[in-house]
Amino acid sequence: MDGLNVSIAFFFLVVGVCQVLRWLSKRLLFSGTHGCLVREFAGSLQLCMSCLELRMLMEIGPWGGGFGLDVVLTLLFLLSAVHGASFDGASANPTVSLQEFLLLESSLAVMVAKLLAQGVGTGTGWAVTRLYWSWELTQLHFIQNLIAPECSSSIRASLPHAAFVEGSCSFLFHLVLLKVRQSHPLYRVPALAVTVTFLTYTAGPYTGAFFNPALATATTFHCSGNSFWDYIQVYWLGPLAGMLAALLLFQGNIPRLFQKNLLYSQKSKYKLPKAKVTAQVEGDKPQRKREKSNSEPHA
């Protein structure tokens, strides 16, 4: 259990350092594009380092550390909740940044800048985590260093099946995100944390359940077993298709591409209250009767 304690301390350190970066960006850069990019970098760095350490615990922990999957899933839920509460508006996910662009919430230049910040953040997180593992502070890290050069692909299914799994995970994640994105953090953070934990538990044995192209690129693209194009199909095209399907189902259209709602009928926002209409109709009846009696000929 000493290895688990070291990993927990590592999680606290990573979140603390990234929180300092976010605080410095607010103090020095104020608000704006530059602060947004620093938050994306910090969020991607935090997510990548935490994910790599957690995957190491998930792969080696059951036989090298003496703890089971329940411990790792509990850590995953807690880390997902911490990420959701501390990211400060950053997504650290290219499909979420593209979704914001398609919803007319950001420009093309801002989206591209976010993608670059996410790529730099995940790349830095991968390099720093590998350096941290090289110190071999625990037996788990020693084992990880031994097997790291011979890492195998996270794709453990046929390519169509794996792409469908990643697309389905992305679809469900973005559907929940679209539903709770305007909710209070007290509801939004646990909902997303439960969703991530559930998807990782169910889809992890097939593809690793990344549904985040930048995270998957830094984590598994360098491993042997599949070609670069195979990884692109599963970890980029699959999540992008899932995001587009979730956006189309939730909105009925994609605002950046077309305004017409393809799935849901447009109802008028202005309706006459039924009570007033009924009162007007009933008020007209006596008047019509009086007009009819006045129009009758008198003897």
Query: In the chain, where are the structural domains located?
Result: 1-251
Contacts of 68 (CB under 8 A, 6+ apart): 61, 62
pTM score, two decimals? 0.85
The confidence score (pLDDT) of residue 131 equals: 95
User: 253, 259 in Cβ contact below 8 A?
Assistant: yes
Eight-class DSSP state of 150: G
What would the pLDDT profile of 274-289 be if each residue is shown by its tens digit? 554 454 545 555 554 4
**What is the mean predicted confidence (pLDDT) over 141-155?**
87
Helices (H), the chain: 2-29, 33-60, 69-86, 94-102, 108-134, 139-147, 159-180, 185-207, 213-220, 228-232, 238-251, 274-295
Eight-class DSSP state of 235: I
- Whole-number average pLDDT of the chain: 87
The confidence score (pLDDT) of residue 28 equals: 84
The confidence score (pLDDT) of residue 132 equals: 95
The confidence score (pLDDT) of residue 299 equals: 37
Integer CA distances (angstroms), 26 to 19, 83, 110, 252, in order: 11, 18, 18, 37
Q: Assign 224 to helix, strand or coil.
A: strand
Q: How far apart are CA 77 and CA 233, in angstroms?
A: 28
**What is the mean predicted confidence (pLDDT) over 168-176?**
97
Contacts of 169 (CB under 8 A, 6+ apart): 199, 203, 209, 211, 239, 242
Looking at domain 1-251, its CATH class is: mainly alpha
Token match 């077309």: residue? Answer: 258
| Tokens coding 9 | 């301390």
**What is the mean predicted confidence (pLDDT) over 240-249?**
96
Strand partners, 232: none
Eight-class DSSP state of 254: -
Q: Assign 152 to helix, strand or coil.
A: strand
90: closest CA among 153, 16, 145, 40? 40
Eight-class DSSP state of 83: H
Q: How far apart are CA 117 and CA 38, in angstroms?
A: 7
pLDDT for residue 148 is more than 60: yes
What would the pLDDT profile of 37-92 be if each residue is shown by its tens digit? 999 999 999 999 999 999 999 988 777 667 788 899 999 999 999 999 999 889 99
